[in-house]
Structure 1
């Protein structure tokens, strides 16, 4: 009887020790499991970061965005752009307008772009017959005007708000000399979806925009234009735009202070090869609507102001200025 009591006492005294050991072993197992989960989570985070870096690398061309809607107002330092476009459109008169325009641009220093072209980022389509090399095929064969521009991007906000300043000269071979000062603005991918482009321009013209019997020697245009650009994929993009302008200010009697509203649709695809190539097409009316127009102009002259443009721009990698 005494022996049984002693055995029970020993068992009871050892039981807490066994339970404590079991608890310690369980705690160690949980600690090991937590460390394993932490290691797995770190691996997932590192893998995600690597994937993001890989996506960013795939979406850039030597640091310059492949996505059309994500590009700054100017080329990166050392980059060169060449462009070509074929334009067909209506005219006030017999026949159809057609031209081939070639141009180019370069960024010699940071935030500055110089060129002989009309293909500035965020600008609405320019009329055909303007380029470094411009050939007008119809309705009358001739050479086009030569544009010379400089653009400086002086502000870049944290949320992708870009502001620049433009100065554009058009040297006449077919029309009139013009000098344009502009304020281009771009908001990159609002809500991660679309980019907004805005341009405020003031133009001096050494002549009259409209063919009237008593043309003015000096006129001015004041225009505001805008567009929305969306990348449906990293390489494919769509755009829609328009604006309003008061043109031929101080023009001839009956043809001054004319209000014009342009409109266009466009889209394209970007190829990332040795160079970055944008293939694009645009369609619209310049202008779609006219108010207070000169004699012979209706409010809607869609049969005379339509245009279709197809073209391509080629961007090189930075040829100098890279770190």
Structure 2
């Protein structure tokens, strides 16, 4: 019998050396995901031209979904060593339409919320999705978390708030006092955003774990709906020029890295949990801060180092104490 432990490694009756190799592979995968998450924002900044993103963000998202689909299909054909079975029941595929729609709704909410609050308030309040994801994970998947682990989740949320509020700053603009504001509609939309974010993640995990079919096939279903949703979003969006206008080598690096990270996240949710995913995203803030300091000459503030301490303590509380 195979048991999934709380860091996602599979523990079985294999030899100790095989178990150790499995744990090392898992650790490398999680570390790579942290680096990819953390490098995303600095890479976007590098792509800017005169402070403006020169490419269509919807085109990038669509390409990421297409690449994930192609990789999943190729892996499925290789591992199954047989042609793709078109007779697979549609009932296996249909559940993935729901998270695809939720992801699409949330992408639009992010844009819509900018009319009701300033960007800094959005960055700070969006960390509440850590709590909503953990809460829905506990309720929908029946995973009871101890008080110690809930406190670790709280520390992750606090670390995200501190980091977003002023963990890194542009030295040249640090003195410019930006006006913070948030309206009641903005607050309500933020609550909906956090709930949808948690629901989509937990529902995806639940579907991946309950279906007894290969993960690559599940990814094919998930990314097929993702392609459809994002194709509709791109077609209805207001963008000028061609599909690849403004693309550079760094944009393709973003597409490749984010596609690879999406595949890693499917493995995490299949064999571990959304809680592990939350820790990956939180730890990626540290990579983001260091890369922003080294590549973009942004200033690391006291709040950044406070976030580092809180994340480290949260990891210790959640995983370190037996």
TM-score normalised according to structure 2 size: 0.26
Q: Return the index of the structure with the highest Cα Rg.
A: 1
TM-score normalised according to structure 1 size: 0.26
Instruction: Specify which structure has the higher proportion of strand.
Output: 1
